[in-house]
């Protein structure tokens, strides 16, 4: 094993299971010996992390950009740095309240006994993070796990290798290896990591790999949180303010060039609004990105494999007769930059790959409907998405969409915004994920909620103990009548 520091592991595939198991055991023993960290210790960990993130923000933006070929500095500062700092500030402010035992009521027959819920750290948490937001989606679950008092082993994505190395050295400078250890390597190392008997395993990534992670964790009955993806719909009501809606949709779609798990994946809008939507889309893209090739605000596709996948989606759609509208205001050639122009695919067939698969790029299918019920039915015929977006002013129609569709989260008259509200749970449902985090929900995800009953010295429990007789029968009659 070659090691950058004591907190960074680069295990060889042949010895990965042994080396990773040894690290897990060291962390578990350290956790048992030290006991649950105090509120002050947890706040100190979070404060140290917060200061380091601020200090390394610009360096991180440069590293991520190198991994992408080009990543907008402003997008990194907003979506990676600000989001992480906001999560830490929220945890610092509320952690004392979250940790406090919660008193719960007991039924009359158990009085004067009392009950409470204690929040205990689970122990050692495993985190597997993806490439699309390689810092934020590693650090946000780390924040929640540390706030809950756990030790952490982190496996960042090998598809953004410079960022993975940066995170490893960054965390090694902040925490000892028995508190936070970073594991570097490819798919084989990731598979060995997922099989470790963690006290909890947290995975962010594709649904296909999420299934494999869950299978691996099942071998040791490790509980999992799976933050997956799916095809997040965007529904425009008849009364949607089109110009504002389109700007919000394209902000959400083109952030990180569409490489966002909650990006709008397709649009459903009334038939009569289709051409107006296309015109507004052209206007919005020109406003945001008047040029694409040399525009520092417009991000590249992360690698050639992902770029070619998106090109294949578009080639297939065109070959099967779908109308393709490329939104390239300056009509620039983009091939050498590995940037892909925002592209609309109008009324795509259900047999197309871009209709079946999560797109993860700046390609937006547009479908029309005659009645709002048709749009709702279309969403409900497909796997439950990670996010859903609705645009419209009519509260009754909005509430109908909210009630009749099931998704991980929703933003109304906006895209992406629900994910930055720390008091809202963030997670999927069905094929888009299991479990949630952010804020107090994240603290609880990485905590054991221990139920505790405290018996009073004076109580009637003896009345229900053997030998059973007339008094027991009388007590049972009273209890069963209630």
Host H or E run for residue 126? strand 124-128
CB count, 10 Å around CB of 71?
A: 28
Catalytic sites, residue numbers = 227, 261
- State how far the Cα of 465 lies from the Cα of 480, in Å rounded to an integer: 17
**What percent of the residues of the chain are helix, what percent strand, and what percent coil, each to the nearest 5?**
50, 20, 35
Tell me the C-alpha to C-alpha distance, in Å, between residue 308 and each of 312, 340, 352. 6, 10, 16
- What are the helix (H) ranges across 150-302? 161-172, 187-194, 207-218, 242-254, 274-288
> Encoding tokens for residue 311?
């090109």
Residue 184: which of 212, 224, 156, 162 has the closest Cα? 156
Strand partners, 294: none
CB 318 within 8 A of CB 327: no
Query: For the chain, first and last CA: distance in Å?
Result: 65
CB 153 within 8 A of CB 124: yes
Q: Are strands 447-454 and 114-121 parallel, antiparallel or unpaired?
A: antiparallel
CB count, 10 Å around CB of 453?
A: 11
Q: Find all residues with CB under 8 Å of 387, minimum gap 6, and list them.
A: 232, 262, 407, 408, 409, 410, 411, 416, 418, 419
């Amino acid at each position: 094993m070659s090691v950058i520091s004591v907190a960074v592991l680069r295990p060889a595939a042949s010895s990965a299971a042994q080396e990773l198991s040894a690290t897990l055991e060291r962390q578990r023993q350290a956790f048992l010996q030290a006991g649950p960290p105090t509120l002050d210790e947890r706040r100190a960990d979070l404060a140290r992390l917060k200061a380091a993130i601020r200090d390394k923000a610009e360096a991180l933006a440069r590293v991520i950009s190198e991994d992408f070929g080009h990543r907008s500095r402003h997008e990194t500062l907003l979506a990676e740095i600000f989001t992480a700092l906001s999560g830490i500030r929220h945890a610092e402010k509320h952690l004392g309240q979250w940790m406090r035992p919660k008193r719960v009521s007991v039924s009359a027959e158990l009085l004067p006994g009392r009950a409470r819920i204690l929040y205990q750290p689970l122990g050692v948490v495993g985190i597997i993070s993806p490439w699309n937001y390689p810092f934020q989606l590693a650090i946000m679950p780390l924040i929640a796990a540390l706030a809950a008092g756990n030790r952490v082993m982190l496996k960042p994505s090998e598809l953004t290798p410079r960022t993975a190395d940066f995170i490893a050295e960054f965390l090694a400078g902040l925490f000892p290896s028995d508190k936070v250890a970073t594991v570097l390597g490819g798919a084989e190392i990731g598979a060995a990591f997922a099989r470790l008997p963690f006290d909890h395993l947290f995975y962010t990534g594709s649904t296909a790999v999420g299934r494999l992670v869950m299978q691996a964790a099942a071998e040791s009955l490790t509980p999992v949180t799976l933050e997956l993806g799916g095809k997040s719909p965007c529904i425009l009501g008849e009364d949607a303010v089109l110009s504002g809606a389109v700007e919000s949709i394209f902000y959400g779609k083109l952030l990180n060039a569409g490489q966002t798990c909650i990006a709008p994946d397709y649009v459903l809008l009334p038939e009569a609004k289709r051409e107006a939507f296309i015109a507004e889309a052209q206007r919005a893209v020109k406003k945001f990105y008047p040029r694409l090739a040399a525009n520092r605000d417009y991000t590249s596709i992360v690698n050639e494999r992902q770029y070619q996948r998106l090109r294949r989606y578009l080639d297939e759609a065109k070959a099967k007769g779908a109308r393709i509208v490329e939104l390239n205001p300056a009509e620039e050639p983009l091939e050498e930059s590995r940037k892909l122009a925002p592209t609309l695919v109008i009324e795509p067939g259900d047999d197309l790959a871009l209709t079946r698969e999560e797109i993860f790029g700046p390609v937006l299918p547009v479908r029309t409907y005659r009645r709002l019920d048709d749009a709702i039915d279309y969403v409900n015929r497909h796997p439950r998405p990670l996010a859903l977006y609705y645009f419209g002013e009519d509260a009754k129609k909005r509430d109908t969409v909210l009630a009749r569709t099931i998704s991980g989260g929703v933003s109304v008259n906006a895209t992406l915004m629900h994910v930055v509200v720390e008091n809202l749970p963030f997670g999927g449902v069905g094929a888009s994920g299991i479990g949630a985090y952010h804020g107090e929900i994240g603290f609880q995800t990485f905590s054991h909620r221990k139920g505790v009953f405290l018996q009073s010295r004076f109580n009637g429990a003896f009345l229900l103990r053997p030998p059973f007789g007339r008094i027991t029968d009388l007590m049972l009659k009273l209890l069963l009548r209630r």
